[in-house]
Amino acid sequence: MTDLNKITIKEAHEGLKNKSFSAHELANHSFQIAAESESVLHAHLILMQDEALKSAQDTDKRVLKGDMLGLLDGIPLSIKDNLNLKGNGTTCSSKILSNYISPYDATVVKKLRENGTIFVGKTNLDEFAMGSSTENSAYGPTSNPWDPDYVPGGSSGGSAAVVSVGSALGSLGSDTGGSIRQPASFCGVVGFKPTYGSVSRFGLIAFASSLDQVGPFARTAEDAKIIYQAISGHDPKDATSLNIERKDINEGSSARIGVVKELMGEGIADNVKVEIERVIKLLEAEGNNVTEVSLPMTKMAISIYYLIAPAECSANLARFDGVRFGLRSGGNTSYEMSENTRAEGFGDEVKRRILLGTYALSAGYYDAYYGQALKARSQVINEFSEVFKEVDYLISPSTPSTAFKFGEKTSNPLEMYMSDLCTIPANLAGIPAISIPTGVDDLGLPYSVQLMSPELTDISLLNFSSYVEKIVGFNNSPTKWRKKP
């Protein structure tokens, strides 16, 4: 009998096709794991068992006819709760959208439906994707499957945790400054942020429109590739969607790999550096050419990001005014009603970023702050373009440290923001980046490595990541989640 606890998407597809097990059995196994783990982890906000089992029956009928829809037919996936899934709530883990029901599917959800995907449920996140620990959810935090006393990362902490524990074989998240790669790193799974514009954002509730990107979590880079290929492509409903052919990196016997100097220095924990150096030695032993490269503007990345992202968030979240949809609080005037709605509906971190962004966009300050940040961002893009003339891939830590405990950084927002030190540069440049688990620290918490490549080379990066996975040989699974805290 196939071990469904460690099965990959590719293996599950082969098992379904060969009738080793049914889609109904596979879906039931996901809900069994959810039943065991949700009281500890709180990774899902809703579970969709009735709908999922009906979809599984449809897959099983197609299997009998030899007419499967593709590699994701019958595969249980979960969706981050800032992506619209028709007929279900989409809350963004915020009180202000507590009563909102999605009237349509996000493009990525529609594409998964067309591939026969089974939806397990909607996953928890930091409110409106603003955070690095999933402690900012209005519906309570998610715990890390490797140790429930630790955070799973954020903002897509729920999407990372469900893949780590096995209640879904893959999931979708969104990445604005590292919100896929950072929780993937903390939860010991693969998290992939595609090239900006290569995956439609239609139906994703926006945080920062020039930075947001939908991407997959999975157990392997190969599985992430399967999901990416299903959801990517031009979408006329998304004005930022790219209609450009992908580029490929020559996948010969060796690769040119650049170690980002600025992401191996101050702010990175010593044990994380040691782990990255271990992976680098493994790559060199395989005949790859590894050299140090410098990207000086990465030191400015967090400062640039925390002007651009809050500015765009203040514009995007202006629509939540109590008039059109979502929560509405009382008031004697329309102004008072909007003020009361936002005061009650938004959490502290969301309010903080709206205030920062509104200030940066205000008259007299726009050129000095937001305008300057955009100019600096152009320099970041140019630096990446130049360094990719010399190397094929860049390597760095995914995060400055392994997972931290609940409450450890909540009193100091600036310290929390530093969790995205390694991931933000790729968002500013719009390039693909991936986090791959590589080992565990002395506390049994996962280490990871981040790989980056030029824009539109997503498939090459995913293929190279599969190669790195084989060299590293990491296949540990979390167990502490079974011990209730």
Give the residue extent of every domain in the chain: 1-485
Mean pLDDT of the chain, nearest integer: 95
Tokens of 10: 């590719």
What is the percent of the chain where pLDDT is above 70? Answer: 99
Query: In this model, does residue 288 exceed pLDDT 50?
Result: yes
In the structure, what pLDDT confidence band is assigned to residue 485 with cuts at 50, 70 and 90? very low
| Average pLDDT rounded to a whole number, residues 449-477 | 96
- List, in sequence order, every beta strand (DSSP E) within 148-207: 170-174, 190-193
Query: In this model, does residue 159 exceed pLDDT 50?
Result: yes
Amino acid 367: pLDDT: 87
Amino acid 366: pLDDT: 86
Distance (Å, rounded) from C-alpha 62 to C-alpha 66?
Answer: 6
* Helix 107-114 vs helix 221-231: crossing angle, to nearest 10: 100
Tokens of 436: 């791959």
| Average pLDDT rounded to a whole number, residues 80-97 | 97
- List, in sequence order, every beta strand (DSSP E) within 138-295: 170-174, 190-193, 214-218, 256-260, 289-293
| Average pLDDT rounded to a whole number, residues 58-80 | 96
| Average pLDDT rounded to a whole number, residues 151-174 | 98
Query: In this model, does residue 484 exceed pLDDT 90?
Result: no
Residues 6+ apart with CB under 8 A from 174: 80, 82, 83, 129, 155, 156, 180, 204, 207, 212, 213, 214, 215
Query: In this model, does residue 18 exceed pLDDT 80?
Result: yes
Query: In this model, does residue 253 exceed pLDDT 90?
Result: no
| Average pLDDT rounded to a whole number, residues 243-263 | 90
Tell me the C-alpha to C-alpha distance, in Å, between residue 80 and each of 136, 205, 280, 299, 468: 15, 11, 33, 30, 27
DSSP alpha helix (H) spans, 104-262 = 107-114, 157-165, 181-187, 221-231
Amino acid 483: pLDDT: 63
Residues 6+ apart with CB under 8 A from 112: 72, 77, 119, 172, 230, 231
Domain 1-485 architecture: Alpha-Beta Complex (3.90)
Q: Which residues are catalytic?
A: 80, 155, 179
Distance (Å, rounded) from C-alpha 263 to C-alpha 298?
Answer: 8
Quick: pLDDT tens for 388-413. Answer: 999 999 999 999 999 999 999 988 88
Query: In this model, does residue 21 exceed pLDDT 50?
Result: yes
- Rounded to two decimals, the pTM is 0.96
Q: Tell me which of 22-31, 87-96, 242-251, 338-347 is least confident.
A: 242-251
Q: Facing residues of 77 across strands?
A: 119, 170
| Average pLDDT rounded to a whole number, residues 235-242 | 97
| Average pLDDT rounded to a whole number, residues 265-270 | 93
| Strand-pair category, 44-47 with 118-123 | antiparallel
Quick: pLDDT tens for 319-346. Answer: 999 998 889 998 999 899 999 999 999 9
Query: In this model, does residue 179 exceed pLDDT 50?
Result: yes
Quick: pLDDT tens for 291-314. Answer: 999 999 999 999 999 999 999 999
In the structure, what pLDDT confidence band is assigned to residue 418 with cuts at 50, 70 and 90? confident
Distance (Å, rounded) from C-alpha 68 to C-alpha 433?
Answer: 31
